[in-house]
Structure 1
Amino acid sequence: MEPNFYRPTVQNSLEHDSAEILSGFRDIIKSGAGTRVKLLNYYKGLPISYPATLVEVSGQILELDVHPQQAVALGLSGRTCIKCGTFSHTLLADVKDADVRRMMASLHNFSYVDLMAEQRASLRLELDPPCEAEITVAGRTVAAQALDVSLGGFSALSAQPSQLVKGDEVLLKVLMPNLLHNTVSRLELPATVVDVACGDGGDLCRFSISSDAQAEGVLSRFIFQRQVDLIRELKEMSG
C-alpha cells in the first residue's frame, strides 16, 4: 500500500492501537462468529479486495486464510488494509508472510487509517512503462513522464524543475498507448495543477484535466484494457 492511499488515524498511541486491534481479533476468533473480514490492496492502482477468514492470533501475529490473488498482492505490497465491522476505522497492517500456494497470510503492526483512495472520483492506474509527456505553460515547455492516469487527471514527473504551482493552467500533451492495437494516441489536454512535490531533478506534478469526447474515449479504452491486463497478471502469478 502506497502512503498516498491512506492517512494514519492514531486513536491513543501506535502501540496502544496495535494492542487494541489484536485484542479485538482475539475476541472475534474466540467468539467463533463473524470471522470473515475483507482485505484491500492496490496492484498498480487496481483495487484487489477479497474476503479473508481469521484463523488465529499468535503473539503479535494474525493468521488468515486468503484468496490466492490477494496473497499475490499482499506479497508484492508488503501492507494491506483490513475492513472489519468490529472496528470503527479501516485497519492497516504489515505483511509478515504471504503464501500463494497455501492461501495463507500473516499480518502484524496494526494501526487505524482513513482510506484516501476511496475518496477519489475515478480509478487511478499506474502507467507501466511511463508515457512520454510535455507540459506547456506561459510559452515554455517542460518534458515529463506520465506515471498514472484516471478519467479525471494525470500524475507526471518532470525532467527538470517545473516551476509550477498549484492552480496553474497548462496544456498537457501525453502519448497514450492503445493496448489492443499496439498504437499510440497523442492527447492534448487543458489541465490544472492540483499538487506539486519538488524533487532533486524534477517535480512530481498532479493534474486535473478537461477532456473532450475523443480524449475521454481514448482514456476510457486504455483504463478498461489496463484493468483486464492487470487482472490477467494477478491470475498468472497466483497459479
Structure 2
Amino acid sequence: MNDIYQRLHVAGEAQDETEIIATLAAIKTGKLKNDLRLLNFYREVPVSYGAEVLTVEEHDAELQVHQIQAVVIAHEKLTVLKSSHFRRDVAATVTYVNVEKSRVVLSNLSYALVRADRRMSVRVQLGSAIDASFAAPEVDAVHGRLHDMSLTGMSINVARDPDLPVSQKGELRISLPSGSITVAASLLKVFTLDDGYRLVFEIEPSRAAELSISQYIFQRQVEIIKELKDHPGVFS
C-alpha cells in the first residue's frame, strides 16, 4: 500500500498520534459526530465503508467495520481513516482482524497523503492473463502481461529489463476479451520485481480504444466486488 499513501508528520510523530487518538475518543463518546470512513484498495478498486469506534487506548483503537472492509483489511493489514475531524487523512497499521465479527484493532496512527485520491481515473488489476506488447521505432518490441490499467495509464510485467529510456514513446497493444486495441504510450517508470520488471506507461487512447478500456474496467470492477462479496468470511 506504499504506492497508495505517504505518511506525514504535521506537529510531530508523537503529537500527531496523540491528536488522532483524542479525535477517535471524542467520536466514541459522541462529542464529535461520527463521520468516520475507512479506505482500502482491493485489486486497485477502492473499498470504503463507515466504521464505529468501540474502544480507544493510548496507542491503538478498536473499530467495528463493514464485513467487506474487514476482508480487505485482513489481506492488506493496513487502512486509511477519513473524517472531517482529522487535519488530514490518517494511515494505520492493523494489528488484529476478526472478519467474522467485523472488528479490527489499529495502531501506528499517523497523518498521511493518499496518493490514490489524486489519480485521474479508476484503475483495476487484471483477473486473467492478458498479453501486451510495446513497440517503438528502432527499438526491439517488448512482450509481457498486462498488470493494471486505467483510461490514462497501463503497466505491464516483463521477464527481462528492456533497457528503455524513461519517456520512450511508442505504442502499446493489448489483447482484451473484446478484441485487441493499440494506444499511444510513453514510459513513465520501471520497477524491479522478484520475477522480472514492471513497466508503467502513460497512454493516450483513441475514442474507440477508450470505450473498450472503459467497458473492460467496469466489467472488472463488477467481478472484483463480487469476489469480495463471495468471500467465505462474508455472511449473505
Q: TM-score, normalised by structure 1?
A: 0.89
Does 22-31 or 193-202 show the bigger shift?
193-202
Which moves more between the two structures, 40-49 or 135-144?
135-144
In structure 2, stretches of 5+ residues that fail to align are none
Partner of 1:197: 191
Over 3 Å counting, the alpha-carbon distance change for 1:161 and 1:120 in structure 2 is same
CA distance in 1, matches of 2:56, 2:192: 43
Instruction: Please report how far the alpha carbon of residue 228 of structure 1 lies from its aligned counterpart in structure 2 after TM superposition.
Output: 0.7
The 8 Å contact of residues 161 and 201 in structure 1, kept in 2 or not, is answered as no
- Give the letter for the 2:158 counterpart: S
Question: Is 1:188–2:187 an aligned residue pair?
Answer: no
| Correspondence for 1:223 | 217
Equivalent residue, structure 1, for 2:104: 105
Cα pair distance change 1:194/1:50, threshold 3 Å: same
CA spacing shift, 1:199–1:72, aligned 2, 3 Å: closer
Give TM-score scaled by structure 2 length: 0.90
Work out whether residues 128 and 147 of structure 1, in 8 Å CA contact, stay in contact via their aligned partners in 2. no
Please report how far the alpha carbon of residue 200 of structure 1 lies from its aligned counterpart in structure 2 after TM superposition.
Answer: 7.3
Contact 1:72–1:100 under 8 Å retained in 2:
yes
Please report how far the alpha carbon of residue 108 of structure 1 lies from its aligned counterpart in structure 2 after TM superposition.
1.1
**Equivalent residue for 1:90?**
89
Name the SS of the counterpart of 2:84 in structure 1.
Answer: coil
Give the residue type in structure 2 aligned to 1:229: E
Name 2:175's counterpart in structure 1: 175
Q: 2-side partners of 1:156 and 1:58: how far apart? A: 44
Instruction: Tell me the number of residue pairs that the alignment of Structure 1 and Structure 2 aligns.
Output: 232
Gaps of 5+ in 1: 179-184
Counterpart of 1:131, as a letter, is I
Corresponding residue number in structure 1 for 2:137: 138
Q: Name the Cα RMSD after superposition.
A: 1.9
Displacement of 1:175 after TM fit? Answer: 1.6
Identity %: 28
Indicate whether 1:212 and 2:206 are aligned.
Answer: yes
Question: Which residue of 2 is the match for residue 54 of structure 1?
Answer: 53
Distance 1:137 1:234 in 2: 39
Mapping 1:147-186, distance limit 5 Å: 147-178=147-178, 185-186=179-180
